[in-house]
Amino acid sequence: MDPVKVGLLGLGTVGGGTAIVLKRNAEEIARRAGRGIVIDYAANLDLSRAEELGLGSVRLTQDAFEVVNDPDIQIVVELIGGYTVARDLVLQAIRNGKHVVTANKALIALHGNEIFAAAQEQGVVVAFEAAVAGGIPVIKAVREGLAANRIEWLAGIINGTGNFILTEMRDKGRAFADVLAEAQALGYAEADPTFDVEGIDAGHKLTILSSIAFGIPLQFKQTYTEGITKITAEDVTYATELGYRIKHLGIARRTPKGIEQRVHPTLIPHRRLIANVDGVMNAVLVQGDAVGPTLYYGAGAGAEPTASAVIADLVDVTRALTADPENRVPHLAFQSGQLADTVILPIEEVETAFYLRMCALDRPGVLADVTRILGDRHISIEAFIQKEPSSGVDKVDIIMLTQRVREGNMNEAIAAIEALEAICSSVTRIRVETLG
Ligand SMILES: NC(=O)C1=CN([C@@H]2O[C@H](COP(=O)(O)OP(=O)(O)OC[C@H]3O[C@@H](n4cnc5c(N)ncnc54)[C@H](O)[C@@H]3O)[C@@H](O)[C@H]2O)C=CC1
Ligand SMILES: N[C@@H](CC=O)C(=O)O
Ligand code: NA
């Protein structure tokens, strides 16, 4: 059979990795797919990149629309990023009856509902394994491998750049900006690295995971996102003293009131496997009612790990070329008419335990005032440490772990604590999860 002709949009980190791995493993890939998979046409702003990648015989253009409109191209691989041009390109490819593979989580999280509806209508596939947790085949695992389960919750380290920064800061005491610059040089970071460090990228990925886990439409706007930029070296040290590690987690959970969909720094007991996932590695813990806990681990970013997922999708789509569209795996795991309209809870309604740190004047009665404020709102203290001045003489750092409480109640308590005259800074709060 003739090889499948692929149009590759974007020859950057992931596009380059995809070209290299497709060529290096061409024979094995063809044995798996049933026919060869070749890049026939590629688009990139800088055409000299094609030479660097040894794409000698491949047709080249700076205009990606030429690729999606080319009648010879059967599968379009979108590795440009962003949600404007990428959306137009993907929708145009679908209109032209082409299958699409993308690593673009921003695009899927924001425009996936529209894109999948268009794909369904045209009878084409839009595959997006590389969009979540890079090389880890977690989309396939949740969508297909766990199809028997009612998924109860999932929690993941799903941004490689953020995890790399937190690990280097903790282990080597390196400065935030310095590690971020290295992550950019290594090709891990998004074009706008604010997406990585402010939790937006993880929010995109969590939105996708939550949708395929619970059978709900993609709802990025309802996802609570908080980044890692406010985590201090003191918090890392105090968390360690209390037996925890700070990780940037995406958490999606079913509750009787609705679905929690949130990304934020989280204290996790240091013995948990996921607390020991370091550097650019990602991990996703998924709890199914039948299977129990399952854990997926691997590189969350980088050229070849991400290419691994892109090419796995290419193989899947190649196999599906001859299959009846009615019998394909649904884009969002559940049949398109079967998505539920379960409410996503606002963060104020979510219950977690909390780590609190505050700076107080070293005078009698302050601690009693703080514990009274918490007690009045039925917030119990699980652990407590007081530290000698780090922020000036006659001051102390008070660090507490609380039991689980509704976030709205904690907001009230924090406001009352901050209003105390003896409290000299705003209260730092980090949510705590045992993930057991
Ligand atoms: N870098 C990584 O480790 C991962 C990236 N992703 C996603 O993969 C996608 C690509 O990311 P990277 O390869 O890191 O980005 P990149 O910035 O390295 O590459 C993007 C490429 O697209 C080209 N490009 C931009 N606009 C274009 C246009 N209008 N027409 C033609 N070419 C155009 C640029 O010339 C550049 O070579 C993004 O959606 C990103 O979120 C997903 C998982 C991991
Ligand atoms: N910028 C992302 C790339 C992969 O999705 C990350 O660091 O995880
Ligand atoms: Na993946």
Query: Domain-by-domain residue ranges, the chain?
Result: 4-135+304-338, 138-299, 351-432
User: 77: which strand partners?
Assistant: 8, 101
- Distance (Å) from CA 169 to ligand 2 centroid: 18
Q: Give the pLDDT band of residue 393 (cuts 50, 70, 90).
A: confident
Pocket test for ligand 2, best of 196, 209, 248 (most atoms within 8 A of CB): 196
Q: Is residue 80 within 6 Å of ligand 1 at its C-beta?
A: yes
Q: Is residue 300 within 6 Å of ligand 1 at its C-beta?
A: no
Q: Give the pLDDT band of residue 81 (cuts 50, 70, 90).
A: very high
Ligand nearest to the CA of 296: 3
389 pLDDT more than 70: no
- Distance (Å) from CA 370 to ligand 1 centroid: 49
Provide the 3-class DSSP secondary structure of residue 403: coil
Q: Give the pLDDT band of residue 326 (cuts 50, 70, 90).
A: confident
Report the pLDDT value the prediction gives residue 347, as an integer from 0 to 100.
Answer: 98
Instruction: Pick the atom of ligand 1 nearest to 46's CA.
Output: 35
312 pLDDT more than 60: yes
390 pLDDT more than 70: no
* Of 408, 349, 413, nearest in space to 381 by CA: 413
Strands, DSSP E only, in 270-380?
Answer: 281-288, 292-299, 351-361
What pTM did the predictor assign? 0.97
Q: Is residue 15 within 6 Å of ligand 2 at its C-beta?
A: no
Q: What is the pLDDT of residues 97-141, one digit of tens each?
A: 999 999 999 999 999 999 999 999 999 999 999 999 999 999 999
The pLDDT of 402-423, averaged and rounded, is 98
Q: What is the pLDDT of residues 186-213, one digit of tens each?
A: 999 999 999 999 999 999 999 999 999 9
Q: Is 205 a catalytic residue?
A: yes
Does the domain made of 138-299 have the CATH classification 3.40.50.620? no
The pLDDT of 7-29, averaged and rounded, is 98
Provide the 3-class DSSP secondary structure of residue 261: strand
CB 176 within 8 A of CB 235: no
Provide the 3-class DSSP secondary structure of residue 6: strand
- Distance (Å) from CA 415 to ligand 2 centroid: 35
Q: What is the pLDDT of residues 48-72, one digit of tens each?
A: 999 999 998 899 999 999 999 999 9
Instruction: Pick the atom of ligand 2 nearest to 158's CA.
Output: 8
Report the pLDDT value the prediction gives residue 405, as an integer from 0 to 100.
Answer: 98
CB 200 within 8 A of CB 207: no
327 pLDDT more than 90: no
Average pLDDT, the chain: 96
Cα first-last separation, the chain: 50
* Percent over 70 (pLDDT), the chain: 99
DSSP, residue by residue, 81-102:
-SSSHHHHHHHHHHHTT-EEEE
Pick the catalytic residue from 140, 205, 247, 395: 205
- The count of residues in the chain is 436
Higher local confidence (pLDDT), 436 or 366: 366
The pLDDT of 241-262, averaged and rounded, is 97
CA–CA dist 349, 258 (Å, integer) = 10
Residue nearest to atom 4 of ligand 2 (CA): 301
Helix residue spans in 105-156 (DSSP H): 105-122, 138-140
391 pLDDT more than 60: no
CA–CA dist 175, 165 (Å, integer) = 9
* Percent over 90 (pLDDT), the chain: 94
The pLDDT of 155-183, averaged and rounded, is 95
Pocket test for ligand 2, best of 129, 139, 159 (most atoms within 8 A of CB): 159
Report the pLDDT value the prediction gives residue 392, as an integer from 0 to 100.
Answer: 60
Report the pLDDT value the prediction gives residue 184, as an integer from 0 to 100.
Answer: 97
Q: What is the 3-state secondary structure (H, E, C) of 146-185?
A: CCCCCEEEEEEECCHHHHHHHHHHHHHCCCHHHHHHHHHH
Q: What is the pLDDT of residues 280-304, one digit of tens each?
A: 999 999 999 999 999 999 999 999 9
Which residue is it, tokens 């969002």? 332
Q: Which CATH class is domain 4-135+304-338?
A: alpha beta
Protein fold of 351-432:
Alpha-Beta Plaits (3.30.70)
CB burial readout 162-192, b (16+ within 10 A) else e: bbbbbbbbbeeeeebeebbeebeebebbbee
Report the pLDDT value the prediction gives residue 436, as an integer from 0 to 100.
Answer: 81
